[in-house]
Amino acid sequence: MRLLRALLRGASPGSIPQQVDFYSRFSPSPLSMKQFLDFGSENACEKTSFMFLRQELPVRLANIMKEISLLPDNLLRTPSVQLVQSWYVQSLQEILDFKDKSSEDSGAIHSFTDTVIKIRNRHNDVIPTMAQGVIEYKESFGIDPVTSQNVQYFLDRFYMSRISIRMLLNQHSLLFGGKINPAHPKHIGSIDPSCNVVEVIRDGYESAKRLCDLYYMSSPELILEELNVKSPGQPMQVVYVPSHLYHMVFELFKNAMRATMEHNADRCIYPPIHVHVTLGNEDLTVKMSDRGGGVPMRKIDRLFNYMYSTAPRPRVETSRATPLAGFGYGLPISRLYAQYFQGDLKLYSLEGYGTDAVIYIKALSTESIERLPVYNKAAWKHYKANHEADDWCVPSSEPKDMTTFRSI
């Protein structure tokens, strides 16, 4: 309510930098899945959504825009990052244009919905464009451990912010944009109150299988087992965003299939991918196990690193292309989707055998609460602090020759 009182006092319009400074002083308001659901199903009121979003969207945009400004100057100067910044500035300005509009003005409310849809479409390519900016920076200036750590920290927060902003934009545009998806009439915006987890997993498998068949002329089979501990004998259902779950499982299936096909290419016998789905009282857990040879323990963290990719440099085209193909962003973005509503995604590898990927999702909609980055002193310090030497011994690649050791 601090923000509402400040707005009612009538902050001077000022320039965009001043507006960013003003709105970044407020923390975003995380919503639970239940709040999204209750609002959309019981109290779907375009005026209420208009009043909330014209306050909340500037706060979320401004918080992450402050962090963008803390990136290395050379990264900020890349054409791709400048393009992303221009999108955010334009979107913030368009939302602020409605700050003083009356909530009783039906024309303003309808215009706001059109603006929300326009902003959503403008931000379609934020992820690959920012990724391209990082590639441009890396190719021109190289990368050092401190910068890599700061960029990793920033991108996790930037992409999580982008997921959250898109969630708000999608909910408003789907509920009030005048178009209902006939294929999903029971969805509340982008949320399925009875998301059939197994069905989404099978859809993700079939999509990955088509790609695998195209590239390798074959693909591993799927063996799926499910256990509903919470409601035995009932379908595996939770309140969730099906597109988020699909993104995660599709990415994991792609990785598992590629590893399985290449690791077993000499034998031409491709072990199946095993998926176990369990619904408990607190968690829905999806475990995907492949026999693709696994990876060494030292490489596990790299798989979630935006600065590390084994794939060749991709061409940036449009959002209609295969999502993030070649950027190496599939796993870290999938983990953010899992973490967005307080879940997680973890990898456990047995080098020489295979990998287990585990997705954790909250089973209760009241506990599925947005995880949002906030710009504050702690975040600022992360970018500005000098990273000192490690406080653990670093093993040398050349072990000390003990025959030359002298006592002091």
Distance of alpha carbon 286 from alpha carbon 248, whole angstroms: 10
Active-site residue, from 255, 263, 362, 370 = 255
- Determine whether 400 is an active site residue: no
Can you tell me whether residue 401 is helix, strand or coil?
A: coil
Measuring CA to CA, how many Å separate 394 from each of 146, 150, 389, 391, 398? 17, 21, 10, 9, 11
> For 133-183, what is each residue's pLDDT tens digit?
999 999 999 888 888 899 999 999 999 999 999 999 999 999 998 766 666
**Per-residue confidence at 368, pLDDT binned at 50, 70, 90?**
very high
Q: Which residue has the tokens 């369990």?
A: 278
Mean pLDDT computed over 286-314: 85
Mean pLDDT of the chain: 89
Query: What confidence score (pLDDT) does residue 392 get?
Result: 82
Which of these, 319, 360, 320, lies nearest to 341 by C-alpha position?
360
Give the model confidence (pLDDT) of 77-124 as tens digits. Answer: 999 999 999 999 999 999 999 999 999 999 999 999 999 999 999 999
| pLDDT attached to residue 40 | 83
Q: Looking at the predicted structure, is the pLDDT value of residue 43 above 90? A: no
66 an active-site residue?
no
Catalytic residue status for 254: yes
Closest listed residue to residue 247, CA positions, set 173, 324, 184 = 324
Residues 205-257 have pLDDT tens digits of 999 999 999 999 999 999 999 999 999 989 999 999 999 999 999 999 999 99
> Which residue in 123, 247, 274, 362 is the catalytic one?
247
Above pLDDT 70, what percent of the chain?
A: 86
**pTM metric for this prediction:** 0.89
Q: Which of 56, 67, 251, 370 is catalytic?
A: 251
Q: Could you report the per-residue pLDDT of 313-343, keeping only the tens digit for each?
A: 555 554 444 443 455 789 999 999 999 999 9
Task: Give ∠ CA 166-206-187 in degrees, rounded to 5.
Answer: 40
The gap between the terminal CA atoms of the chain, to the nearest Å, is: 66
What per-residue confidence (pLDDT) applies to 310?
A: 47
